[in-house]
Amino acid sequence: MYIIPAIDILNKKVVRLREGDYNQVTEYDVSLEEMIEKYQSNGTDYIHVIDLNGARNDFSNQQYIFDVIKKTNMQVQYGGGVRSIDKVKELIDAGVHRVIVGTQAITRPMFLDELSRSICGRDRCSNQVVIAIDVLDEVIKYSGWMESSPIKLMDYVDRCLALGFFRFLCTDINKDGKLEGAGIELYEKLLDHSPFIKLIASGGVSSMDDIEKLAKLKVESCVVGKAIYEDKISIEDIKNWNLESLISI
């Protein structure tokens, strides 16, 4: 299992939200450029960048983030405001390693069909497109976690799988930003339902003990944000874990 450090951007500032609530924002006195440099200089080669403005249809951050991403050699998993097939293509062509799609995949029934036909063979879909599943009490949320979908969680997973999408970023909103542990029960349910999916866990990770628990579930990777900024998990911890994971493959 691989650890991916998260950088969330709101109004061009590095922040973390609590339970996805834009009224519960913690700002950090560091820029996106500085965080990327910090990770890169410590041997981290993969980052997770989310445009929180974009997630709410405000694209004022987007060019700033794109300009920063283009300057780095790190592999970037990017999400927030990806609302069209053309935007997915643009990001991939610009060198973004993985593009996260969420709201459009839920609100436009044919979006994933079109995406699958347009740019994906089965392997490419799995490797370059990540399906976001943001979950609150097993209800799928979207549009910056402000809206609820009537689609049942497992039905949605099955639909994505049928179209060739195998990699999912699952955020347990109940856990997110609290530093109270990861959503182990939710991830167990997903993996019991579809053992072969490539699952990226997100939300609540507070310690290397939480990382160990996720590794035992055999999730592909996990996203860690607030625990880094609050000095619960060090960049050195992440570097050492990821090196050991690569050696054990």
- Per DSSP, the residues of 97-134 read SEEEE-HHHHHSTTHHHHHHHHH--HHHHHHHEEEEEE
How far is 231 from 219, CA to CA, in rounded Å? 24
Active-site annotation holder among 51, 134, 172, 210: 134
Q: Can you say whether the dihedral through the CA atoms of 126, 131, 135, 139 is positive or negative?
A: negative
CA-to-CA dists, residue 125 to 76, 92, 167, 200, 225, angstroms:
16, 12, 8, 15, 26
Residue labelled with tokens 């592999």: 75
Is 134 part of the annotated catalytic residue set?
A: yes
- Residue 233: Cβ within 10 Å count: 23
- Residue 117: Cβ within 10 Å count: 11
Active-site annotation holder among 8, 51, 172, 176: 8
Report, as residue numbers or ranges, the catalytic residues. 8, 134
